[in-house]
Structure 1
Amino acid sequence: MHYATTENIHTTYAEKPRQKVSFFRKVRHAVHSLETRWDHVRLSFKHRFNLMDPVIIFPYRGLGNNREVYIKGRIQENEGLAVEKREDMTVWENIRLMYRRYESDEIPYLPIKGTFYGETIETRADDEGYFEMHFKPGKDLVDPNTEWHHVDLHCPAHKYTLDKDLHARAHVLIPNEKAAFGVISDVDDTILKSNITNFFGKIKTLLMNDAKSRVAFPGIAAFYRELRKGTSNEEVNPIYYVSGSSYNIYDLLDRFCEVKEIPKGPFMLRELGYTRDQVFMQDTLGYKVSMIQRVLSYYPDLSFVMVGDSGQKDPEIYRKIVKQYPGKIKAIYIRNIDQSEQRQSEITAIARELHGWGVPMLLIDSTKEAARHAAELGLITEEGKQNVIDDADKDLREEAQANAN
């Protein structure tokens, strides 16, 4: 007779999760295989019947230091999104543009070269058209007084590029030696009102608003400009935007910051699509943690201020980072979006815990509160604080006037 031992029981229960994981992995692989075949059929059909739109290299802003640089981009058909720079966009035009963003047709597996300070790297786009490059430029090649650098990109002629060479330039942020600290910021409901906690509100905002009509939180542009300056008169402190939004709306977020005069910086967003290891979209929490870790790893001697909101998991993510990088984070500001009693209690507990690590975390109802606290910590000047307060009051008046109309 066979008797169950502790080892047998552990083995029996341990096998079930492995079987589940194996099943879901097989499903992901099957879906990925079908999508890959569909992409091949789609591109072959469009090419055969001259339905291809012009193909472009869409580079995203990169980041790095004088020893290592990272960039990312995508090869895709040009969906004509530059039309959004018009001032008279209608609701239906916004909806159509948003559809184009998410319907964007990637061009997979094309070879691409990048050159940075004489170093050339060759790689190939993946099945979703994305590519990444890591450069090792050498300390003496990078001007320490220049913040923005560029990588020249080239994709050789191919039938899917309509037999034309593709060229583009990616911009890379390497902090000036004068930088006192950096800023890591969320986007949705942190700088941009997105209604992220309200599903229907989020969809309405996403579909019906262009970069100009989207609303920034009062005073946020001035606050980030002052954080860029710190206590100096030069805007040298770098800002990095880490968001759960997808790269499909990269151009929208970039244009939004330009219109609202929010300092530019690299956007680290998520990929959409099916891969062998991903179903539709990367996990938000894990992705944001990994991207923040990437930023921090590039700048071991730079401390950071972190800004997020209470609507999702920013406090939990930032707590994890504080514990992984003790002494690295100067302050955390969390915009008070989810005002439920349970969420307030959770954030209070996290703030209390982080206080024990020597990191203040403030739950703020307005940007003015963050500015006052930042001035107390010596992150910005008293004059800078007043600039933020004045701009916040101005933004509030303009927002009230717009709502009245």
Structure 2
Amino acid sequence: MGWLKKDPLQIIAFQGYGTDSHFYARGRALEDESIDLEDQHIWHLIVNTWKRFETDEIKNVDINIKLPNNKILKGVTDNDGYYKVEANLQDLKKLTNEEGWLSFELSYSDVNIKRTIQNENRFPGEILIPSTTSQFGVASDIDDTILHTGVVSMLKWKVVYNSIFKHAKNRSPLEGAADFYHRLHRGASGKNANPIFYVSHSPWNLYRYLELFLRQNNFPKGPILLRSLSNFLKRKSLDEKPQKQKEILNLLKTYPDLPFILIGDSGEHDPDIYMEIAEEFPDRILAIYLRSVKHKKKMIRVKGLIENYKTTQVLMVEKSAQAIDHARKNGFIQ
């Protein structure tokens, strides 16, 4: 029934990741609500927020992914319009650029579909296949780690205010964060092309918003790993791991020979998640960096957690310069 509406169709490809022998792409098929990423008028910001969350999904529809070598992969969207396409292939690195990005083309399988912008049934996508020169990977939180959100504010009112009433271009990155991440990306040699993965508890509805923020503030390009809104609202069982933890564990599984640096903040559950991961993979986690937040109670709790923690290095930082200094002394960066 979604096809009977007037809005054109689109396929949003989330920047994903894979290996030389495993292709893995995620994204979503939606009606194009024409969200204006440039207009900063308050009314447009409110309307855009509404459009991000009041989505018209294209459910249970077949899609194609065309690789640069003209190989076609098949996929299908679920009841929320999401797709996951996986395939075991060979020599995928031959299809990547020098940074490890593999570009591909998405389309609806039904060639008779015309309800796309300018009747172009073609949509770009890409996944990252880390370079063989990679020294380590970085898994970083977004909220209050590189982006001021106010996650520790009462009832998280600052998160709501910033997400609705602030344009991505006007959101403030934490001072020095982009420089630190570029140094980590370049690594000890200055040419390592270490992969950066941005992992957040935010819903996929904010994907393009966060993508614009990272691009506008000159952060290294990297996969953005979020969660579905249905999972965001669903009550978790006591033994179920947080989505952020699942994503990082999957990165460690996907790249068994690649150690990782984990970056987060001391405001929510990052310390607990990261330390648990380090306990499970003590030889794979090189360091944990935690941004200090302005919340006395939470800071006391985290300091108590890390005071006698010996499994891996955990550093609480007020400024990026502290993390840069530590990373340089430990041979992570130049």
TM-score (norm 2): 0.90
Residue 270 and residue 282 in structure 1: after superposition, are their counterparts in 2 closer, same or farther (change >3 A)?
farther
What are the residue-to-residue correspondences of 1:107-146 with 2, within 5 Å? 107-116=58-67, 117-139=69-91, 142=94, 145-146=98-99
What are the residue-to-residue correspondences of 1:243-322 with 2, within 5 Å? 243-273=200-230, 280-281=233-234, 286-322=242-278
Distance in 2, Cα, partners of 1:349 & 1:373 = 21
What are the residue-to-residue correspondences of 1:375-390 with 2, within 5 Å? 375-381=328-334
The match for 2:110 is: 157
Deviation at 1:295, TM superposition (A): 1.1
- What letter is aligned with 2:78? D
Please tell me whether residue 324 in structure 1 is matched to residue 277 in structure 2. Answer: no
Please tell me whether residue 103 in structure 1 is matched to residue 59 in structure 2. Answer: no
The match for 1:63 is: 17
The match for 2:42 is: 91
2:164 to 176, 185, 207: 207
The match for 1:374 is: 327
- What letter is aligned with 2:306? A
Distance in 1, Cα, partners of 2:228 & 2:283 = 31
Percent identity, please.
Answer: 29
- What letter is aligned with 2:203? S
Distance in 1, Cα, partners of 2:288 & 2:253 = 19
Gaps of 5+ in 2: none
Please tell me whether residue 147 in structure 1 is matched to residue 100 in structure 2. Answer: yes
Q: Size of the alignment, in residue pairs?
A: 325
Deviation at 1:91, TM superposition (A): 1.8
Residue 235 and residue 97 in structure 1: after superposition, are their counterparts in 2 closer, same or farther (change >3 A)?
farther
2:191 to 234, 245, 258: 234
Check whether the contact 2:30–2:58 (CA below 8 A) recurs between aligned residues: yes
Residue 129 and residue 239 in structure 1: after superposition, are their counterparts in 2 closer, same or farther (change >3 A)?
same
Deviation at 1:161, TM superposition (A): 5.8
Distance in 2, Cα, partners of 1:146 & 1:156 = 30
Deviation at 1:265, TM superposition (A): 0.5
Deviation at 1:187, TM superposition (A): 0.5
* Structure that is richer in helix per residue: 1
Check whether the contact 2:183–2:190 (CA below 8 A) recurs between aligned residues: no
Q: What secondary structure does 1:212 align onto?
A: helix
Deviation at 1:92, TM superposition (A): 1.8
Gaps of 5+ in 1: 1-39, 382-405
Deviation at 1:63, TM superposition (A): 0.1
Check whether the contact 1:107–1:160 (CA below 8 A) recurs between aligned residues: no
- What letter is aligned with 1:222? D
The match for 1:348 is: 303
Check whether the contact 1:271–1:281 (CA below 8 A) recurs between aligned residues: no
- What letter is aligned with 2:300? S
Output the aligned Cα RMSD: 2.3
Please tell me whether residue 219 in structure 1 is matched to residue 176 in structure 2. Answer: yes
Post-superposition CA distance 1:241-293 (Å, at most 9, x none): 110001111111001011100111001101013xxxx5835859521111111
Residue 140 and residue 55 in structure 1: after superposition, are their counterparts in 2 closer, same or farther (change >3 A)?
closer
TM-score (norm 1): 0.75
Distance in 1, Cα, partners of 2:14 & 2:299 = 36
Residue 314 and residue 234 in structure 1: after superposition, are their counterparts in 2 closer, same or farther (change >3 A)?
same
Check whether the contact 1:119–1:135 (CA below 8 A) recurs between aligned residues: no
The match for 2:27 is: 73
Distance in 2, Cα, partners of 1:279 & 1:190 = 20
Residue 140 and residue 368 in structure 1: after superposition, are their counterparts in 2 closer, same or farther (change >3 A)?
closer
- What letter is aligned with 2:323? A
